[in-house]
Amino acid sequence: MPREAYERFTASEMWCPKCRRAQPVREHLLLVLPTGNKFDFTCSVCGTSLGGRTDDDASAFSLGLAEPGRGR
């Protein structure tokens, strides 16, 4: 199987230490950075933060800088 098939891999369930079982997760965008976007995974049952990931897509950051008056 080509490696490209795994480039956009994301979790649908993760182990939750509070629930003590694998639970579905929600992915939330935390930060838009010049180097990419930072995401957080939280348990959809209890809301515990279970981990995160960072991608290397900086397009959202450059779009945000191009809009005058944003963030002021």
CA distances from 20 to 15, 26, 43, 46, 48 (A): 7, 17, 11, 11, 12
Q: Is the dihedral of CA 71, 42, 13, 9 positive or negative?
A: positive
Residue with tokens 């490696």: 3
**Which has more confidence, 25 or 1?**
25
Task: Specify the pLDDT at position 33.
Answer: 82
pLDDT, tens digit (0-9, with 9 covering 90-100), for 7-63: 666 788 999 999 999 999 999 989 888 888 899 999 999 999 999 888 887 776 666
Q: Which structure tokens are listed for 8? A: 């956009």
Domain 11-66 architecture: Single Sheet (2.20)
Mean pLDDT over each residue of the chain, to the nearest integer: 80
C-alpha of 28 from chain center: 5
